[in-house]
Amino acid sequence: MNRVVILLGTNYSGSHLLSHLLSSHSACVGVGELHRYTQLVAGDTSAPVVSQYTTSPLFADLEGLPISRWHEVIEQRIRDQLAIPAPVIIDNSKKIRWVEQVAQGSRLDLRIVHLLRDPRALVLRWLNTYGAAKQRRTQRIRVAKRVPSRAVRILLGNWSTVFTYKWLRENRQISQFIARTRYPHAVVTYRDMVFDTQSMLTRLMPRFGLSFEPAQLRFGESNLHGTIKTAHAQVVSQSEIRPDLKWQTQLDQSASAAIVGNKDVVNYLKSLGLHCGSNGLQSIVDKAHGVS
């Protein structure tokens, strides 16, 4: 049965970096953000990535096939063209809907990795992304509709509150999907990925029946990534990991404190054994041992 690992998470969660680290294993092949395949093959330049979809024979002529067969076809090509006998495909598509499409009628051995970025980082990112008044109003209404139990708070609160609940809704939806479908899964934090990379990989790879390989830390040497963020291409080529902690200095301190103290956020993170630490999400066990 074909082993496929799909990364789920919010935008800006660091999923491209995680996909590079995983796909640099000798038994793994990255297919990037495969949900963008049709868009990128058509030459749409709005997506901020460069892809191998028009240059690698692994991805040739997928459009005429059902999405549920794409990974099966790619897996067979990997066996034939790369001589990897039991490849693990790393798909960085991030969307629940994509998993549902992939799984329709397929016999894939699907594994899920839920990548969690600190809500303070995402709130800052969305404050910057949705800077125009109209964009923010749209986000407020959209988030309020999607989190009706907190609609009054979202509609009357400040913009940090709006984006806190955007983060909470998107990640909680992933957790609920995993609980409902019962796919084998792992939770990885951005903090562990960028500050404790080798230990994170050592814990994670056995979930796919593999062991950590030092070459994974030299991910820039691999040519099997599928897609690479355009802005990060040079950094990736040098196997650099540059932690993004802008929220520590650029997010208003009162907003940061409100996020950390938000009971809905606290309870959700607690359900995953996590809390907001000084440099990102960390395990409650680490907190008990004084690790910051």
Query: For residue 86, which of 204, 4, 207, 184 has the smallest C-alpha distance?
Result: 4
Q: Which residues contact 48 (CB under 8 A, 6 or more apart)?
A: 229, 230, 231
Q: Mean pLDDT per segment of 10 residues, for the chain of length 292 residues? A: 92 95 96 95 87 94 93 95 94 97 88 98 97 97 98 98 98 98 96 98 96 97 90 92 96 98 98 96 69 46
CB 68 within 8 A of CB 7: no
| pLDDT given at position 286 | 59
Q: Which residues contact 289 (CB under 8 A, 6 or more apart)?
A: none
* CATH number assigned to the domain covering 3-117+183-237: 3.40.50.300
| pLDDT given at position 106 | 74
DSSP 8-state assignment for residue 53: T
| pLDDT given at position 101 | 95
pTM over 0.75: yes
Q: 7 - beta bridge partners?
A: 113
231-250 exposure pattern, b = at least 16 Cβ within 10 A, e = fewer: ebeeebeebebeeebebeee
Instruction: Using the structure block, give the residue that is written with the tokens 């490849």.
Output: 87
Query: For residue 259, which of 182, 180, 142, 165 has the smallest C-alpha distance?
Result: 165
Tell how far CA 63 is from the center of its chain. Answer: 24
Instruction: Using the structure block, give the residue that is written with the tokens 């690698």.
Output: 56
Q: At what angle do helices 263-271 and 159-181 cross, to 10 degrees?
A: 30
> H helices within the chain, ranges in order?
15-23, 37-41, 67-77, 96-103, 119-129, 133-146, 151-156, 159-181, 190-195, 197-204, 233-237, 247-250, 253-261, 263-271, 284-288
Dig out the tokens for 102 from the structure. 């992939």
The C-alpha angle with vertex 67 and arms to 62 and 69, in degrees rounded to 5, equals 80
- Domain extent listing, the chain: 3-117+183-237
First vs last C-alpha separation in the chain: 41
Q: Could you give the CA distance from residue 91 to residue 6 in angstroms, rounded to a whole number?
A: 5
The C-alpha angle with vertex 125 and arms to 123 and 130, in degrees rounded to 5, equals 95
| pLDDT given at position 260 | 98
Q: Could you give the CA distance from residue 223 to residue 143 in angstroms, rounded to a whole number?
A: 39
| pLDDT given at position 291 | 47
DSSP 8-state assignment for residue 75: H
